[in-house]
Amino acid sequence: MRHPHRDVVVIGYGIVGALACWRAAAAGQTVTCLDPEPGTGATYAAAGMLAAVTEADFGEPDLLRLNLHSARRWPDFAAAIERTAGTGIGYHRCGVLTVGYERADHDQLQRLAQLQQHSGLAVTPVTTEEARAREPMLGPRGIGGYWVPADGQVDPRRLMQALKIITDDHGVRVVRRSAAQLMDDHDGRVVGVVDEIGDEHPVDRVVVAAGYASGPLLAAHPRFQVPVRPVKGELIRLDGGLPGWSPESRIIRGFVQQRPIYVVFRAADDRTGGQEVVIGATSQEWADDRQVTAGAVFALLRDARALLPGIDEFAIKETTTRARPATPDNLPILGRSGIPGLVIATGHYRNGILLAAATAEALDLIFAGRELPDVWKPADPRRFHDQPSDHDQLGKSEGAPWVTTSR
């Protein structure tokens, strides 16, 4: 069957796909979205940390610039979503407290703080006593680290509910099917998508926002591929509501014997009350199964309670795992592909929620036919096509160059 012509088809309805649907529709385009299980991918697992400063790491200056660019846009972005949807999304610029468990963990926090300070970011050392004043649950082994005032959080599930209200209001048609392949015309322009049951969706523009599934989908395309791979993350959600305990949104990030751990305390929305506590996250290359392992639950609880022993009192609400869409340089793959009609918006890896604000802005520019600002240049989808891959240089022409022995 051939569906009536629409302006845009978006493949994927996670945070990035939902934003693409919204911004295309807001630009006056008719939009279809293909996703067999909307909103149930990486976005569903996300803890919702907006931690551009705290999560800055060595060797990622372009990503840091992009993350900070997005963090600056979050207050207006959150306000626009809440206003348009008429519902809250749990956005709080609550800051992040970093703490260590052993001296070596504190040293690790110090090295990161030096990097952050050299980048001009506000990071204040806190003594253990000050850390305890900020975080009453901090256990006897916790060592004060740093206070990062600019970082914050949002509730990714409420964010997605709000975006669903908005895209429904804009008449976005979400079809619960996966995309099987792209349709090309004789000039090599992408002119639509064939879905899993063989239906054709003819459009002027296709936006591929299918997370790590974007790689396999585009693998069949003769002229454009994206090196995006799954990196599995497991998280635990606790019910942090205790009698007489007033909920407060806050974030603790730290190292326990050199292993990173974060704990997001989230005052639940007015309707449900209470407090959700999200502990994350594991990281496993090239895994996309949805099994939460006993080892992961053990490791997350072991490290979280090493810093915050009081979490022992909380009930386990949920364990979740999903795969993040990762790229060879940890940067997203976002922009025009160079193939007429094909836009790529994937590879947001650990930063899908944080980068949402900048991604919405970039999509606006793409739909308006304008250039992206310089901060997005390192994320250009064509960066993996303009130079020979290692495999080509080695004289091997078969196989995807990003498939490494780490699989």
Cβ 324 to ligand GLY shortest distance, Å: 6
- Contact with ligand GLY (CB under 6 A): which of 280, 332, 347, 381? 280
Q: Which is nearer to ligand GLY, 242 or 299 (CB)?
A: 299
Say how many CA atoms lie within 13 Å of 405 toward its Cβ: 0
Cβ 282 to ligand GLY shortest distance, Å: 8
Size of the site for ligand GLY (CB under 6 A): 6
**Alpha-carbon distance 308 to 316, whole Å?**
15
> Which stretches does DSSP call E strand in 136-291?
143-148, 152-153, 173-175, 179-184, 190-195, 200-208, 229-239, 250-256, 259-267, 275-280, 284-285
Contact 209, 363 (CB under 8 A): no
Is residue 332 a contact residue for ligand GLY (CB under 6 A)?
no
Question: Concatenated DSSP letters for 220-238?
Answer: T-SS-----EEEEEEEEEE
**Residue 281 within binding range of ligand GLY, rule CB under 6 A:** yes
| Residue with smaller CB distance to ligand GLY, 51 or 179 | 51
* 156 versus 341: smaller Cβ distance to ligand GLY: 156
Both tokens assigned to 194:
């064939």
| Residues 124-127: contacts with CB under 8 Å, at least 24 apart | 124/148, 124/149, 126/97
Q: Compute the least distance from the CB of residue 48 to ligand GLY, in Å.
A: 9
Least distance from ligand GLY to the Cβ atom of residue 331, Å:
14
- The tokens for 23 are 């911004």
Instruction: In angstroms, give the least distance from the CB of 116 to ligand GLY.
Output: 16
The answer to the question of residue 348 lying near ligand GLY (CB under 6 A) is: no
Chosen residue from 100, 215, 233, 325 binding ligand GLY by CB under 6 A: 233
Q: Which residues pair with 144 in a beta bridge?
A: 99
Query: Minimum Å distance from CB 352 to ligand GLY?
Result: 8
**Interface mask (CB under 6 A) for ligand GLY, residues 183-222, using x and -?**
----------------------------------------
Using CA atoms, how far residue 330 sits from 58, 115, 322, 342, in Å, is 12, 18, 17, 22
Residues 87-126 that bind ligand GLY (CB under 6 A): none
Question: How does DSSP classify residue 178?
Answer: -
Residue 350 touches ligand GLY, criterion: CB under 6 A: yes
Nearest to ligand GLY of 217, 261 (CB atom) = 261
What angle is formed at CA 377 by the lines to CA 372 and CA 382, rounded to 5 degrees? 105
Dist. CA 296–CA 174, nearest whole Å: 34
49 binds ligand GLY (CB under 6 A): yes
Q: Considering the complex, what minimum distance in angstroms separates the CB of residue 109 from ligand GLY?
A: 17
Smaller CB separation from ligand GLY, 28 or 58: 58
* Closer to ligand GLY by Cβ: residue 33 or 94: 94
Q: Indicate the DSSP class of residue 252.
A: E
Compare residues 53 and 281 and give the one whose CB is closer to ligand GLY.
281
Question: Minimum Å distance from CB 47 to ligand GLY?
Answer: 6
Least gap, CB of 389 to ligand GLY (angstroms): 27
Residue 394: half-sphere exposure toward Cβ, Cα within 13 Å: 8
Residues of this chain that bind ligand GLY (CB under 6 A): 49, 233, 280-281, 324, 350
